[in-house]
Amino acid sequence: MTLPFPELASDLDDIARQGLYRSRRVIASPQGINLEIDGKTVVNFCSNDYLGLANHADVVNAFKAGADRYGVGSGSAHLICGHSAAHHALEEELAEFTGRDRALLFSTGYMANIGVISALLGRGDAVFEDRLNHASLLDGGLLSGARFKRYAHADAADLGTKLDKALGRKLVVTDGVFSMDGDFAPLDELAVAAKKHGAWLMVDDAHGLGVIGERGGGIVEHYGLSQDDVPVLMGTLGKGLGTFGAFVAGSELLIETLIQKARTYIYTTALPASVAEATRTSLKIAIEESWRRDKLKQLSERFRRGAGQLGLQVMESSSAIQPILIGDSQRAVDISNALLNAGFLVSAIRPPTVPQGSARLRVTFSALHEQQHVDRLLDALGKAIVGCK
């Protein structure tokens, strides 16, 4: 008997030959600085739990109290009978936190991006995306049916030229903090270009929310941009805030449009209410405990200094994401494996997540790391790089 899809096996072989095969590691501990993998404890440098809230005792307790009050499942979509008082309160708190009129919860960031772009655009419209945007933004743009234009990374002038030629409704879409590079989008310039051409600007702040800005308000707080400058603000709850889910914040008109039209909002089960309760607590901690943001800055700066002294190619980043450019995919994997043997978990990021020839080690910091963790990582990195030719 011949199997269907006979080419699948040779596709997998190709992926492996290019050093692009992906596999999972089974984690037996909570998220934190130390992770247990295969009975061994390793120091974690690849989580997006930047503020160290994923296993914070108060957040865990709020989650348990939420489950005691609401049970586990939310029972249905928000528009049927799944929208609990916990969800509603969290939406109000997120609107206040971001300085927007309203916020709307989505079950994941991926779904938020797909739902929002398709709700706002269709055939005859145009979407403009930074070349290095997250996959979910690219997919959202493609799925919307609008004409799809990519502009050069962080290049408002190139965006302007492309906007000049476009017809129909125009939406400019960008990561706030680029997920695999750690640099900031030039949001002030993008906002000016968008306004000049009557376009809306949508920012995905998955990696800035809670982490950037005095109060953790993210990239829009950093640039001081209002709802008028950035009409569509998307944030995730599973990174800096340490829980799960996502939201979109903006005007009454935007949110009501999404409730009517965003298919990934309408046709999916609401997050568990207990996750919303946990997030309400983690949001409070994120706002109040600015030491977590200060600590991240100190750790990142210490790492950048040390990596520079080792002659490593650090990238232009002032966030908690500090990638080391390696280039070759297999070499990035070899170095990542050597680091794991030395007790450090650092992920190798390869194409297609990043452009061809730009494989990298994506080092991320948590407010729970100490300076000695950074120093030990640098020491191990120096040895691993020399050992992997």
Ligand X SMILES: *Cc1c(COP(=O)(O)O)cnc(C)c1O
Q: Which amino acids are annotated catalytic?
A: 179, 207, 239
Closest distance of CB 118 from ligand X, Å: 15
Six-digit token string for 286: 């994120």
Closest distance of CB 140 from ligand X, Å: 10
Among 140, 141, 218, 238, indicate the residue that binds ligand X (CB under 6 A).
238
- Quick one: 193 or 219, whose CB is closer to ligand X? 219
Does position 109 interact with ligand X (CB under 6 A)? The reply is: yes
Cα–Cα separations (whole angstroms), residue 123 to 75, 90, 104, 146: 35, 34, 25, 5
Name the residue whose CB lies closest to ligand X. 109
Query: 314: which DSSP letter?
Result: B
Closest distance of CB 5 from ligand X, Å: 28
3-state secondary structure of 39: coil
Among 114, 173, 194, 206, indicate the residue that binds ligand X (CB under 6 A).
206
Among 44, 47, 98, 236, indicate the residue that binds ligand X (CB under 6 A).
236
Among the listed ranges 6-14, 103-111, 192-200, 260-268, the one in contact with ligand X (CB under 6 A) is 103-111
Does position 208 interact with ligand X (CB under 6 A)? The reply is: no
Does position 179 interact with ligand X (CB under 6 A)? The reply is: yes
Does position 183 interact with ligand X (CB under 6 A)? The reply is: no
Six-digit token string for 14: 């190709």
Closest distance of CB 369 from ligand X, Å: 20
- Quick one: 108 or 334, whose CB is closer to ligand X? 108
**Looking at this protein, which amino acid is placed at residue 341?**
N
Contact yes or no for 228/234 (Cβ under 8 A): no
Six-digit token string for 233: 């603000």
- Quick one: 206 or 368, whose CB is closer to ligand X? 206
Among 45, 110, 265, 303, indicate the residue that binds ligand X (CB under 6 A).
110
CA 201, CA 179: separation in Å to the nearest integer? 18
**Using N-to-C axis directions, what is the helix angle for 371-387 and 329-341, rounded to 10°?**
130
Among the listed ranges 102-110, 160-168, 221-229, 379-387, the one in contact with ligand X (CB under 6 A) is 102-110
CA 255, CA 102: separation in Å to the nearest integer? 7
Does position 158 interact with ligand X (CB under 6 A)? The reply is: no
Among 118, 136, 264, 366, indicate the residue that binds ligand X (CB under 6 A).
136
CA 178, CA 159: separation in Å to the nearest integer? 17
Q: Pick from 306, 239, 244, 242: which is nearest to 270 by CA?
A: 244
- Quick one: 126 or 132, whose CB is closer to ligand X? 132
- Quick one: 160 or 218, whose CB is closer to ligand X? 218
- Quick one: 300 or 319, whose CB is closer to ligand X? 319
Does position 108 interact with ligand X (CB under 6 A)? The reply is: yes
Among the listed ranges 52-60, 203-211, 247-255, 331-339, the one in contact with ligand X (CB under 6 A) is 203-211
CA 208, CA 230: separation in Å to the nearest integer? 15
Phi/psi at 301 (nearest 5 deg)? -65, -40
H helices present in 155-290, as ranges = 156-164, 187-196, 219-223, 252-261, 263-266, 273-288
- Cα angle vertex 373, ends 372, 378, to 5°? 95
Task: Please tell me the count of residues contacting ligand X according to CB under 6 A.
Answer: 14
Contact yes or no for 282/241 (Cβ under 8 A): yes
CA 361, CA 332: separation in Å to the nearest integer? 6
Does position 115 interact with ligand X (CB under 6 A)? The reply is: no
How far does CA 284 lie from the centroid of its chain?
20
Binding site for ligand X (CB under 6 A): 108-110, 113, 134, 136, 175, 179, 204, 206-207, 236, 238, 246
